[in-house]
Amino acid sequence: MPAELSPIDKAKFVAAKRAVDFIESGMKVGLGTGSTAAWMVRCLGERVRQEGLKIVGVPTSTRTAELARQCGIHVTSLDEAKWLDITIDGADEFDQNLALIKGGGAALLQEKIVATASDQMIVIADAAKEVQQLGAFPLPIEIIPFGWQTSKALVEEMLVSMDVLARDVTLRMNGERPLVTDESNYILDLHLKRISNPRQLALVLNQIPGVVENGLFIDICDIVIIGHGDGRVTVRDINSGSETDDQILFAPTDNIFADLGE
């Protein structure tokens, strides 16, 4: 086996491994973005190669599309696929109601569009991503570049009336320049520490001129699969109210580990 993984990477791997069990031949599958989603794409590619699984993948970023092709997954656009059976993605935070903060990888716009165009969304995460209240992770919002400072000022003004613990808003940078998303937009990170009413905040944010979308995913996630460093996974289904524990045999192949770019 390749070099020993850290407990966090083991947790991500087993969550991803369990998630791809939900995928069947003939499905159209949304492919998330980020380090945990990258494990999922590699595990899915292994099933495609070893089992002849016939699927179509719809990636949520250019880097996910590139990885999926490298793994032998047939990739298409959402416009071509039209509607998906399932989307599997990571999250930066999730709470007991499976409300999420996403966008740490700057792909929140495509991620939300793909997830809402799916019959089911499964989130894969390590146990550290579960929180009592959202907000410790900075909330990303995608904004258009034109007049971005005005949009930022409007967001700051709006936050005064919101029940949040802090109100620091920063422009996400890529070196000395603003980070630019796949849709040629900017990202503002809202350092709120605690969000008492995520649903209200999500609605209000999207009313601000210049804001394209926010990283709060409310009533979108159906199942969360929580990975643990010892190989255990917890599968929590918000619709059925069920929670089950499984043990994943940790024997990843060289194909999954090869050329990891995460």
Radius of gyration of the chain (CA): 18
Classify residue 177 by burial, with Cβ atoms within 10 Å: 0-12, 13-18, 19+: exposed
Residue 261 CA neighbour count, 13 Å, CB half: 11
Q: Which residues are annotated as a binding site for substrate?
A: 33-36, 89-92, 102-105, 129
* Active-site residue, from 46, 51, 80, 111: 111
Numbered residues of the known binding site: 33-36, 89-92, 102-105, 129
How many other C-beta atoms lie within 10 A of the C-beta of residue 108?
Answer: 28
- Catalytic (active site) residue 111: yes
Could you tell me which residues are beta bridge partners of residue 29? 57, 86
Burial per residue of 150-165, b for 16 or more beta-carbon CB atoms within 10 angstroms, e otherwise: ebbebbeebbeebebe
Catalytic positions, written as ranges = 111
